A and B are shown apart, each in its own frame.
Chain A
């Protein structure tokens, strides 16, 4: 039986992480659709969604057969690697060591590359555009599937995590269809910061549970771990962010 803390944490982490991934996939599909036509863009995206459905259909039943403690251990370690990687990158972006992810710049780059490819291939089926859409949606989609399984499976809440992910993907697709522009105003680094904190907290909790640790407060320890990672990350940003020069 899961308590309210777990339910809210799973749904929120799944929604936020999937939102970021869906925005990245949308940027590339939009660039393909606007430069090479919507047919190859949507064909590639639909093929990737079909491939993702096959992956989920193949992996879904396997997840239910793995003993819960082994599942918590594997998922916990993968979440730690995945979440701390996101958090590290968000910290480095906040302090200016790594450039912020810019959806407008990604859109312009993808558009330029596809236009050059179009000049080289004047006729025939636009396999290049379809393959680019397929790869973008498949890669971002695999990340979403991994996040859904990772945050939901260890507590039997895959349905809830799937709902959060589907809601995020539907929201991004609806906004993208309405405005036909990359979602550049989404605070992507702030979202990645929050998602990195949440995934790391889940990872620490489940890795400990797989080792037999009885965390004080039960599932509420997830929130304490999230607070701890948030404080560490915020302290690193405050400590390492270059100071603005004093006005002369």
Chain B
């Protein structure tokens, strides 16, 4: 298990290093497209989309934040697709088809995710209800036990002692 983890981590790290080394061959294409994306509206959409998608290599980062080679590839694909006239939804669908629903940085509300969305609130409500029920029962319990005759006499005696020393 640990060996497999290490292998995957090493591989991702190596990919980064190798891509740095091989960058000459790979960055020529994007520099060409970068100059084409002079349209500010298109660029704004690209940035917004990249912020909504998860980098599947470094999973707690969005595609916009990540420096992983895969995230760079994804940004490039977002750009070319927007330039080709695709809608935002089509671009998101493109990535969902390939990487699954996990690629949404904020998971959509649907049959397989509703528990994730509602779960914490449901748990909080259940907990609060239980707490209230227990407290109420305890209070009712306290009220429902009047003093016995002997206790009453003893209390009266103590109070008398207090007022007439």
Are chains A and B native binding partners rather than an unrelated pairing?
no
B residues near A (Cβ < 8 Å) are none
